[in-house]
Structure 1
Amino acid sequence: MLNGFGAGNNTYLQFDPSGNLVSYNPGIGFNQQSASGGDGWNLAEHTQLTSELERKTVNLNTRWNIVDGVDVFFEGLHYQADAVELVDQTPFQSTLFGGTSGALRVSATHPLLTQQARDTLTSLGITSFGLGRASRDLYNNASSSSTKLSRAVVGFDGSFELADRVFYWEAYSNYGRSESFNFGTGLNQQRFVNAINVTRNALGQLVCDPLARNATYLTPGSNGFAGGPVPVADPNCVPLDLFGEGRPSDAALRYVTYPTRARSLLEQQVYNANISSSLFDLWSGPLLYSLGYERRIERGSFEPDAALNAGLGRSVPITPLRGQYGTKEWFGELIIPLVDPSSNIPGLQKLELVGKYRNVENEVNGEFDTYTYGLQWKPFNDVEVRSNFTRSLRAPAITELFLPISSAFSQVPDSCDSRNISGGTKPDVRRQNCAAFLQFYGLPAGGFTSTAVGATIPITTGGNPSLANESADSYSYGFTWAPSWDALRGFVFSADYYNIDISGVIASLTTTNVAEACFDNENFNTSDIPNANFYCSLITRRADGQIDSVQTGYVNGEFTRLEAYSAEMRYGFDTDRLGRFDFGASAYFPTNYETSVTGIVVTDFTSTSNIQRSYQLDTRWGYNNFSVGLSAYHTPKTQYTNTQTVETRETLFLDKYWLVNGSASYRLNDKTQLRFAVTNLFDRDPPFPSTGAGTGYDILGRRYHLSMEWQY
């Protein structure tokens, strides 16, 4: 798989910490970037499961009765969190990546090479070589953040009588503010290329030399430096030794790296007033109503520091951003009784119509209406049947609208890779389009090995000020049975059916969405392969067909549809000598879950690890001030994904899984209670090859939580 040195190209070398060249074990290679064993870079060592996090929370709630029928209330919250990212990916120089993260081309006479390294290269007849590096000794890219969240609500509520009716009213103001600072480290690309081009001056000292050009790029681009900055003279430059881990000097590290800081601010103001009462009396009882008005203002800003704004590192310049929008909302609710419970009509113990309406005038998205209507029917005391329909809309969040364009890294399931070329939901369309793609780039007809499938590549993502509202039509019906018989008193059973259809769903366009919509698309212009359709134009490729970058971000997708059933049972009873026993069981049965962001590909998640049948059992026993409980979550054997085949994935199913949690509590007195909880009591790993995605899986293992609650 690898192209080495010497006769047969099978001599593999690496730099040791002393700068000498030693043997490199490539392991058992699977493709260009993946191998089992050997001396390669292990991505898992740079993937964290948890962060170092310190949180502080203060709550204050108070209510004061001013006069009869009028109360003033206040709610306050302050939350502060400081988090440290323990590990992350490093700066790379690799053939897997393009641009300034690509592999370097280094002269065999580079003055920073040790004599042993020069002699080894000379003996192999090498005049220049490619250098790949995961530069964790430059910086680990580990970042930190500090967040402060504050919220204050002040309002009045009360009641009064007028015209023989009781009115309930409320008016309040709510202000919330979240301020976050994110700190990190960047690699100054201009200083990096300055520092790796080195010579010796007349005194034999190592100095930076922009004319040396003895460390350029393996894929040089138009200027020898992958289209990035070229070396320039800088009196502050310090030579950077990349020939062995730990070789860079502290002075060189200070020269090529820089701290970054970005500030994010979100603010929300809400003013609400509402009143409720009975409008008049019907033959069946009072017609209840509620009316209200709400004014909401959302503001957001993002302020990168000068270095991020200038794009000194290997990402695009990140621009500051500021935005806001407001809404004016009228809302009302009616409850119309159709039967008088005291009439004792058989099969009509209760029958009510419920209607809700809200008109929203949004400064960004215009005006829209939402509403709900439903029926509640109680044929007799033990059973209640319910049904409703809802038309709802969701306006884009301020982050979805105004999030600044930023850089990140992601893998891409490149569709014409030999492992993917026969996959997808439209394999015939994909193979036809890939045939034209492979011919254009001069690649094998059966597909090629795309480095982006197994290694992350640069992507850009950000908000979209042109987002429209997403709308949803949903309906549900169900029933509750609570028998009044003495033998089953305390037993409750309920079951529901849900059907939700969201159109124009606001979604973050992923690299998977882009790749699939490019090649599984019947609209594919074979005369302009790089821009064969809109989605193909979001992918930037090199001359050899490898992906350089992908543009993603928030869009209005096509739809998301969900159809499911749920059921729940609860039963609790007290005993004279053994305390109280509570039991519960619930089940969730999705029958259809499909979504399409692009409208080209419909992804069916039904019965996969994204959404699957699940069951929960709960039991708790309490005696005096002590109680103990167990909760068990069960996920049956499920398909990993509906789009993979035996040709593209070795393991297609996830085995069944049980997750058991335990808890106990003890009340010391009326004001003090101790709680103890164990998550994943039996320390069960999720089924292979799950990484924890999906309901009911736990990847962290057994852990404990102890808390005390004190009220005053």
Structure 2
Amino acid sequence: MRRTNLLPISLIFGSAATLGVPAALAQQPNKPADTGDPVVEEIVITGSRIRQDAQGFANPVTTFSSETLAQSGKTDLADFLAQSPALLGSITGDLTAGSNPGFGEVGLNLLDLRHLGVDRTLVLVDGRRHVAGLAGSAAVDVDAIPTDLVEAVDVLTGGASAVYGADGVSGVVNFRLKKDFEGLTVRGQASRSSQGDGDNRFMALTGGRNFAEGRGNVAIAYEYSKDDRVFDQDRSYLRPLSRFDLAQNQDDLGDDPDLPDNVPYNDIRYADSSPVGAVDVDFDLESDFEGNGNVYDRGFLLENSGGFTQGGSSTQTNGYQGDLFPESERHLVNLLGHFDVSDSLTLSAEAKYARTRAFSIAQPSYDFYLLMTPDNPWMPDVIRDSIVPGGAAIFFEDPDTPDGVIVTRDNFDLGTNGEDTTRETLRGVLALSGAVSDNLGWEASYVYGETRSRIVEANNRFEDRWLAAIDVVEDPVSGREVCRSSLDPDADSALEGCLPYNIFGTGFRDPRAADWVNTDSVSHTKVTQQVVSGSLSGDLGDTFKLPGGSIGFAFGAEYRRETSDSVPAQEIQDGLTWVGPITPSEGSFDVKELFAEINLPLLTDARFANKLSLGAAFRASDYSTVGKTNSWKVDAVYAPVESLTFRGTYAQAVRAPNISELFSPESTTFNFIVDPCDLNELNNGSSTREANCAALLNDLGIDPSTFLPSNTPQATVFTEGTFGGNRNLSEETAKTWTAGVVLRPEFTPGFTVALDWYDIEIADAINTPEANELAELCVDQPSLDNPFCAGIDRDPDTGYVIGFTVRPDNVASFRTSGLDMTFDYQRNTSIGDFSVQLVGGYLDRIEFVATPGAEVDNDLGEAPMGSLGVFFPKFASTLDVSWIRGPLTLAYGLSWASKTDRFTRETLRGDPDYADSRFFRVKEKWDHDIHGSYDITDRVNVFAGINNLLDQKPAFGYSSYPISAMGRYFYAGAKMNLGGSAR
């Protein structure tokens, strides 16, 4: 699955309320279902602006309650919601730590509904838009939403664009906040993993009071949360000797069909590199010495594996992972209030300030083939004496090149790179609402949102200073080691203030020299959002009354403007440092919209029609970027009897390209590319890959049958490329339909079954491939005449990929479908109140087509190794069982996902013996949670729990799948209600 990249500079389980709330995410357990006659209440539901009966709503909506959130032990909303099958693909903290995130992305928590990408999931707060958390994107960082202030979370698929506008092609997640506070509530919680790390501290205070004889209410809420970093080497199974990865079977270099092509190896390292320097004295690209003068041990060279070895002197690959979880800290302040000016006019306001900071360690800087001359006084004599005269001139193809050696080095001692990002979110809402009559109401609102980010790239190396610092000679006067540029102002890397740095070995790091070479580069981004909207809603009363009741309607207009600015540090803009160059970017758009909605209650309480209604919605939009678009929805609800309801929707949704996709300037980036035309990769793609690669290489005069860049060090280095936006993009268009049934059998009070099928197909989808995907897509299409090949630059002499250009385009399509299932049973007995909820999701298809006419990439049931956060289990479910007796609550939760394929269909289709069959499948997820709470008094509650009770670990070859590496996790806390309540 080619998911939309986060290039900043890159539940549908049932009906409303209790129908379709995932297990372990169920509604408040100490409020069991009322098994008597239902009370029909008309409310405003997520997915509609018309007040109507929630049980008769056509769109399946899943609601997660605040009580369930608190009892889950989760203090992060994304972690909580990502348990549900529909949001499995969400981006949580472990996916934005270490070497995983791009520029400015560390610590982000983004929701992904239906595996269709974070930019296709619309996040709302109280039915209104929220400013994005990432420059250039529409994705909302849910860390900016206060956990303890959430009353409920609604998740909806189908018809969302017609009601709320663009970006919701996969659906909507709406956070409903608590209102009308009276008194003071304090909650605190502390958590820690069984490994003694990953600590979380959480505190929330909420206070409010009514005034003006109950006509108004004002409240303030403060929330604090802090999470500690977890380094990948803090988990024993991820350390070099314990961690195994698949690599080319060295006993099967001839591709014996009776032997697996890839087998597990531990202690995998980068060939011919070292933290102390790997020194090549004879220029044969095989290291001879370590930088300290010891003989270099290449270990066991893993041929045809892309430049890796097992053991030896080389750098261990897992040293480049960095953190498993980032350090994060959040401060959130919310001010809420409303006042009834009169019986027909209400003023409401909200102000929010959120400050989130995330820090994560990534990887060190590294160098390939540094030329070091023999006059460097720190060069060991054994290396100096082994220099091959004239070798450097031949290697660099320059007769003026002086004699020396080449050094490849991973500079851990210089300081590991990291990112420290502080995001400040401001959001204000001012709204007026009122009633024109008993049947007609109105609302007008203004929303302003702003996210400012301060991005610090820690230990960002100045390239010119580094080259000057390692070019060391002896001062003939003092006899001390100095930079060549300090003696020779005409030297290639002459810089004032240079301090020499010893790269031969480790333990010689001069902190002053490191400080001179490195800098903490500070960049800034700013995103703003303004929304002005007004609407009228109500019903026609008795004027145009249908047999089922009054016709409901809503219509209105909305104006929205969004801007995004990104200003990298000057040294990054100028390309002077390890990170960069990155060009400043800015962009904006506005959209004017008209919308309307109608609900036709055709029949109520009729024979064979307890309820029959039809509905429709339409939205016309005019974007400053893509012009006019239309979204619409039609729906129907039919209940032949009270206990059985059928429902369905059919809709067209749109997504306009975001600012980054449109306006990102061309910038330089680096990627490690696995060449799809390598002999070892020909069977890992489409059926046309081999023929396309042959044609491509033959045109260059290269024999495809001997093309093995994976065995060539020059071809297994990071490749420089560019990426940028595309101002010619148009909107994406999705067709979505849902069909479901809800059963509430009269013979089993308290039991509900909800089954809903969904189908989403997106045409003209914007595809922004990563560099590796770009190279693969070029040769995996029906022919080489495609837009992806234009983005790959190959050396005309060797055929190796030497450059790439990545730009988004409207060339792809997506399709997904599946079934959501909810079984809910609640029963009150003399020994306590019992609640059992089982929620399941069946994924029927998840398909991607890169260009029209290309082969369908079917990702169903896959979780490919090396594809971070990309997994598509066919089945997933959550189970919740709770028992309440008096002040005591005990609960058990289970989050389960079916086995997945470790390799793609394309890989195994072309190479059935790619690996031993026992590695074909990734184990199931079994996350068992237990929770208990006790009311000490009517004002004080204590609670504790354990998540991942059986301490399941990630599967072989993964660091965060099918479960995170945090492991067994304990939490405990208390809540005090010092008078009053909230609704």
What TM-score, normalized to structure 1? 0.86
AA in 2 matched with 1:199: V
For residues 385-426 of structure 1, the C-alpha deviation after alignment (integer angstroms, 9 at most, x for no partner) is: 001101000112334334455555444331112220222122
2:612 aligned counterpart, secondary structure: strand
User: How far is 1:658 from its partner?
Assistant: 1.5
Corresponding position: 1:112 with 2:357? no
Aligned with 2:964 (options 661, 681, 698)? 698
Aligned with 1:367 (options 628, 632, 640)? 628
Which residue of 2 is the match for residue 329 of structure 1? 593
For residues 504-558 of structure 1, the C-alpha deviation after alignment (integer angstroms, 9 at most, x for no partner) is: 2233312232112222234337xxxxxxx64234234455344344333433341
Q: Do the aligned residues in 2 keep the contact of 1:194 with 1:232 (CA within 8 Å)?
A: yes
Q: How does 1:210-359 map to 2 (within 5 A)?
A: 231-279=492-540, 280-314=544-578, 316-341=580-605, 344-345=606-607, 347-359=608-620
User: How far is 1:440 from its partner?
Assistant: 2.9
2:783 aligned counterpart, secondary structure: coil
Whole-angstrom CA distance in 1 between matches of 2:281 and 2:367: 19
Whole-angstrom CA distance in 2 between matches of 1:672 and 1:276: 42
1:190 aligned counterpart, secondary structure: helix
Which residue of 2 is the match for residue 38 of structure 1? 312
AA in 1 matched with 2:447: N
AA in 1 matched with 2:618: Y
Which residue of 2 is the match for residue 14 of structure 1? 290
For residues 48-98 of structure 1, the C-alpha deviation after alignment (integer angstroms, 9 at most, x for no partner) is: 21011111122232222221122211223221111211x21211113xxxx
1:644 aligned counterpart, secondary structure: helix
Which residue of 1 is the match for residue 442 of structure 2? 169
Whole-angstrom CA distance in 2 between matches of 1:301 and 1:479: 47
Aligned with 2:924 (options 656, 659, 684)? 656
Q: CA distance change for structure 1 residues 236 and 421 in 2, over 3 Å: closer, same or farther?
A: same
Is 23-32 or 74-83 further displaced after alignment?
23-32
Whole-angstrom CA distance in 2 between matches of 1:674 and 1:550: 57
1:82 aligned counterpart, secondary structure: strand
Q: Do the aligned residues in 2 keep the contact of 1:423 with 1:648 (CA within 8 Å)?
A: no
Whole-angstrom CA distance in 2 between matches of 1:70 and 1:624: 42
1:506 aligned counterpart, secondary structure: strand
Whole-angstrom CA distance in 2 between matches of 1:9 and 1:281: 85
Corresponding position: 1:480 with 2:742? yes
Aligned with 1:558 (options 812, 823, 828)? 812
Corresponding position: 1:401 with 2:675? no
Whole-angstrom CA distance in 2 between matches of 1:147 and 1:166: 44
Corresponding position: 1:57 with 2:332? yes
AA in 1 matched with 2:613: E
Q: Do the aligned residues in 1 keep the contact of 2:281 with 2:405 (CA within 8 Å)?
A: no
For residues 612-666 of structure 1, the C-alpha deviation after alignment (integer angstroms, 9 at most, x for no partner) is: 2223222111222332222212222332222222454553221333121223334
Corresponding position: 1:521 with 2:781? yes
Whole-angstrom CA distance in 2 between matches of 1:75 and 1:11: 64
**Overall identity of the aligned pairs, in %:** 22
Which residue of 1 is the match for residue 850 of structure 2? 597
Which residue of 2 is the match for residue 433 of structure 1? 693
Q: Do the aligned residues in 2 keep the contact of 1:411 with 1:453 (CA within 8 Å)?
A: no
User: How far is 1:459 from its partner?
Assistant: 4.7
User: How far is 1:195 from its partner?
Assistant: 3.0
AA in 1 matched with 2:900: T
2:775 aligned counterpart, secondary structure: helix
User: How far is 1:583 from its partner?
Assistant: 0.4
Aligned with 1:142 (options 418, 421, 424)? 418
AA in 2 matched with 1:595: F
AA in 2 matched with 1:40: S
Whole-angstrom CA distance in 2 between matches of 1:175 and 1:155: 12
Q: CA distance change for structure 1 residues 231 and 288 in 2, over 3 Å: closer, same or farther?
A: same
Q: Do the aligned residues in 1 keep the contact of 2:768 with 2:807 (CA within 8 Å)?
A: yes
User: How far is 1:314 from its partner?
Assistant: 4.3
AA in 2 matched with 1:186: N
Whole-angstrom CA distance in 1 between matches of 2:387 and 2:932: 67
Is 181-190 or 237-246 further displaced after alignment?
237-246
User: How far is 1:264 from its partner?
Assistant: 0.8
Q: Do the aligned residues in 2 keep the contact of 1:26 with 1:38 (CA within 8 Å)?
A: yes
Which residue of 1 is the match for residue 366 of structure 2? 92
Corresponding position: 1:501 with 2:501? no
2:531 aligned counterpart, secondary structure: strand
Corresponding position: 1:489 with 2:756? no
Which residue of 2 is the match for residue 221 of structure 1? none
Whole-angstrom CA distance in 1 between matches of 2:699 and 2:583: 39
Which residue of 2 is the match for residue 222 of structure 1? none
Gaps of 5+ in 1: 95-102, 214-228, 526-532
Whole-angstrom CA distance in 2 between matches of 1:481 and 1:421: 51
Larger Rg: 1
Whole-angstrom CA distance in 2 between matches of 1:317 and 1:603: 34
Aligned with 1:186 (options 460, 467, 470)? 460
CA RMSD, 1 decimal? 3.1
Q: Do the aligned residues in 2 keep the contact of 1:654 with 1:690 (CA within 8 Å)?
A: no
Q: Do the aligned residues in 1 keep the contact of 2:281 with 2:388 (CA within 8 Å)?
A: no
Whole-angstrom CA distance in 1 between matches of 2:957 and 2:746: 48
Q: Do the aligned residues in 2 keep the contact of 1:644 with 1:652 (CA within 8 Å)?
A: no
Aligned with 1:547 (options 798, 801, 814)? 801
1:252 aligned counterpart, secondary structure: helix
Which residue of 2 is the match for residue 83 of structure 1? 358
User: How far is 1:489 from its partner?
Assistant: 0.6
Is 258-267 or 75-84 further displaced after alignment?
75-84
Q: Do the aligned residues in 1 keep the contact of 2:549 with 2:601 (CA within 8 Å)?
A: yes
Q: Do the aligned residues in 2 keep the contact of 1:419 with 1:647 (CA within 8 Å)?
A: no
Which residue of 2 is the match for residue 98 of structure 1? none
Q: Do the aligned residues in 2 keep the contact of 1:538 with 1:552 (CA within 8 Å)?
A: yes
Is 267-276 or 248-257 further displaced after alignment?
248-257
Corresponding position: 1:575 with 2:796? no
User: How far is 1:463 from its partner?
Assistant: 3.8
Q: CA distance change for structure 1 residues 506 and 534 in 2, over 3 Å: closer, same or farther?
A: closer
User: How far is 1:685 from its partner?
Assistant: 1.3
Which residue of 1 is the match for residue 296 of structure 2? 24
AA in 1 matched with 2:351: G
Gaps of 5+ in 2: 1-270, 273-278, 393-402, 864-870
2:697 aligned counterpart, secondary structure: helix
Task: Give the paired residue count.
Answer: 664
Aligned with 1:678 (options 923, 943, 946)? 946
Whole-angstrom CA distance in 1 between matches of 2:495 and 2:439: 80
Aligned with 1:510 (options 767, 770, 773)? 770
AA in 2 matched with 1:168: G
Aligned with 1:638 (options 900, 903, 911)? 900
Is 166-175 or 4-13 further displaced after alignment?
4-13
AA in 1 matched with 2:301: G
Q: Do the aligned residues in 2 keep the contact of 1:46 with 1:88 (CA within 8 Å)?
A: yes
Whole-angstrom CA distance in 2 between matches of 1:510 and 1:436: 21
